[in-house]
Amino acid sequence: MARVLMTGFAPFGGESVNPSWQAVSLVGGRRTDVAAVELPCEFAASLPALRRALEAHRPSLVVCAGQAGGRAEVTPERVAINLIDARIPDNAGAKPVDAPVVAQGPAAYFTTLPVKACVAAIRAAGVPASVSHTAGTYVCNQVFYGLMHLLATEFPGVRGGFVHVPFSPEQVAAASKPEPSLSVDRIADALEALADTALRVTEDLPISAGAEH
């Protein structure tokens, strides 16, 4: 069985690709200890798909990735909140507003990844990175919160978290918009550095200047 489950999302918001899934797929092709799974960018379908992946692969570590257009760095997320407030419809046309991810669930969950150590490792691999304290209120945050709830209630001992990645250059070029971007290869390098660090590090580093997003 794979030790690491990595997930990325299908394209959404009119994009033809999603660099989170492209990079996760690349890592899955590089490594035999990583199972790569694409999640639908749909509020109703994302968490059932994540649960099926957890049941199928029984990993010791879960890294979910998503696209955050406009960010210039790879940003491991520190906290997920129990809120869905969609700015745009998902791929099924749903646009929930002010809804909980889990009814009666805790207000928030913290990641169980050593995010500061992961940022240091990603930077050491030559990829820009910082810790983020907001995963938004769209499907990325829903999956992050849903993952942590599943791990807390049904998969004890499994560690996990979420990381956002920038647009890819092809997305920026196709839209002719002045947004920051990062190549899929370098995003994949960052995800590998993050996973390797999370597998061996349980005590996180003290926060250092410039590590925050």
Average pLDDT over residues 154-171: 96
Q: Clarify whether 57 is annotated catalytic.
A: no
pLDDT, position 176:
81
DSSP state of 206: P
Q: Render pLDDT for 19-76 as a digit per residue (tens, 0 to 9).
A: 999 999 999 999 999 999 999 999 999 999 999 999 999 999 999 999 999 999 999 9
Average pLDDT over residues 97-108: 98
From the list 41, 149, 164, 192, the catalytic residue is 164
Average pLDDT over residues 165-185: 93
Q: Clarify whether 42 is annotated catalytic.
A: no
Q: How far apart are CA 147 and CA 149, in angstroms?
A: 5
pLDDT, position 207:
57
Percentage helix, strand, coil, to 5, in the chain? 35, 20, 45
Residue 211: band (very low, low, confident or very high) from pLDDT cuts 50, 70, 90:
low
Residue 77's nearest CA partner among 196, 192, 160, 195 is 160
From the list 64, 140, 149, 213, the catalytic residue is 140
Is the pLDDT at 209 greater than 50? The verdict is no
Q: Clarify whether 140 is annotated catalytic.
A: yes
Q: Render pLDDT for 103-120 as a digit per residue (tens, 0 to 9).
A: 999 999 999 999 999 999
E-assigned strand segments in the chain: 4-9, 34-39, 61-67, 75-76, 79-81, 108-110, 159-165
Residue 85: band (very low, low, confident or very high) from pLDDT cuts 50, 70, 90:
very high
Confirm if 163 and 111 have CB atoms less than 8 A apart: no
Is the pLDDT at 6 greater than 70? The verdict is yes
Both tokens of 66, joined, read 């998503």
Q: How far apart are CA 25 and CA 8, in angstroms?
A: 8
pLDDT, position 190:
98
pLDDT, position 203:
82
Q: How far apart are CA 167 and CA 148, in angstroms?
A: 25
Per-chain mean pLDDT for the chain: 95
From the list 42, 73, 77, 192, the catalytic residue is 77
pLDDT, position 178:
86
